[in-house]
Amino acid sequence: MLSSKIKERLHQERTPLYLYDMDLLRRTLESAREASGRYGYKVHYALKANFDPVIVECIHDHGFGTDCVSGNEVRYSIECGFAPSDVVYAGVGKTDEEIEYAIRQQIFAFNCESRQEMRVINDIAAGIGMKADVAFRLNPDVDPLTHKGISTGQADSKFGISYKEIDEIAAEAGSLNNINITGIHFHIGSQITELKVFEYLCRRANTLFEYFVSRGFDLKHINLGGGLGIDYNRPEEHPIPDFETYFDIFARNLNVGKDTEVHFELGRSLVGQCGEFISRVLFTKINSAGKNVALLDGSMTELIRPALYQSHHSIENLDGAGRRESQYTIGGTVCESTDTFARGITLPELRRGDLVSIKTAGAYGSAMASRYNMHELPRALHWERQTENI
């Protein structure tokens, strides 16, 4: 809930914008740190979820590493002060330039997605007289029971090393002199709310770990990726994800020996709830079907999730106190029907100039913004709850 002072303050701001609750971010990070620390687990923040510099600084201060998917993310991590030894680099398509850059930085590990990529990393490392630490990203064929657009660990997908390539890759890796195979890696999908899925992942991970050990690999770490889902329906009731239950599932089901480091790559669960997308009602009208339509000054160019995944975000009229409720379609400014944040939602009457908050927008919100229609990229304000400062 935003205080009336903050609402007043927001009325003076140019919208649309992202508002980040820094207090909630810190409490979330502390909770994740405590729950993972209990088992000695290492968490890398998936930078793709949100690369806002103030947020990233806070994450760095809490002792997390980063999980990157591009050379620019690796560079940004290092510029933000993360030790290269805390940086992992996944990504299904890494360019030669990106690979060379990351080898030179001596990052913790590449998460390598194919036999061909393994050879390329080895060749590039040989060319510059260096050695790279590599983990195999394995596709375990586990259904994450989430939206198909964000599922990554099933057989028919572009991600990871398939069961078909596994024997060949295990046979060849030992002959490559410029890579060390230091671990195995998985990431099966995002916004996973059926936690049983992580038990299935553990079972597959145990078998695959055992397989590589039996083939003579000295695996120092296992990385289980990210994916922990958050509550988009009732963010106020569940502002902090249940990290305890999540890490506990791995502690109970993973069977990889106590000397093996266990790593994770969490994105959404660390930053999702601390952000909300604030925009202003430009116009209201009734369409030919007799429905109320409210048009915001924000759009899919700043928050694309509803358009791309038909995702639900809870919405609040920040100026609606005491007004009668009606059903609304909430649209953005872009000339595409998909640019609709919600249909048929009940809100206190919306009037021109009202501020609307779209919740749970801290992850994959500003990070996915585009300049379509020549829109400006959205601004960000960082709110300190105690002092009421922005």
Report the interface residues with ligand LLP, using CB under 6 A. 46, 49, 67, 90, 150, 187, 190-191, 225-228, 265-269, 305, 309, 364
Q: How far is the CB of 93 from ligand LLP (least distance, A)?
A: 12
Q: How far is the CB of 226 from ligand LLP (least distance, A)?
A: 3
Our CB check for ligand LLP shows the closer of 191 and 333 to be 191
Using a 10 angstrom Cβ sphere, with 0-12 exposed, 13-18 middle and 19 or more buried, the burial of residue 164 is exposed
Return d(Cα 295, Cα 318) in angstroms, integer: 15
What are residue 287's phi and psi, to 5 degrees? -85, 180
Q: How far is the CB of 110 from ligand LLP (least distance, A)?
A: 12
**Residues recorded for the chain:** 390
Q: How far is the CB of 213 from ligand LLP (least distance, A)?
A: 23
Helix residue ranges per DSSP H, the chain: 4-11, 22-37, 53-61, 71-79, 96-105, 115-127, 163-173, 196-214, 243-253, 268-271, 305-309
Our CB check for ligand LLP shows the closer of 265 and 319 to be 265
Cis, bond preceding 16 (omega within 30 deg of 0): yes
Our CB check for ligand LLP shows the closer of 265 and 354 to be 265
Q: How far is the CB of 283 from ligand LLP (least distance, A)?
A: 28
CA separation, residue 60 to residues 26, 63, 80, 82, 182 (Å): 11, 5, 8, 7, 24
Our CB check for ligand LLP shows the closer of 280 and 313 to be 313
Our CB check for ligand LLP shows the closer of 368 and 390 to be 368
**Residues contacting 145, CB < 8 A, separation 6+:** 192, 193, 194, 197
Q: How far is the CB of 158 from ligand LLP (least distance, A)?
A: 11
Our CB check for ligand LLP shows the closer of 198 and 328 to be 198
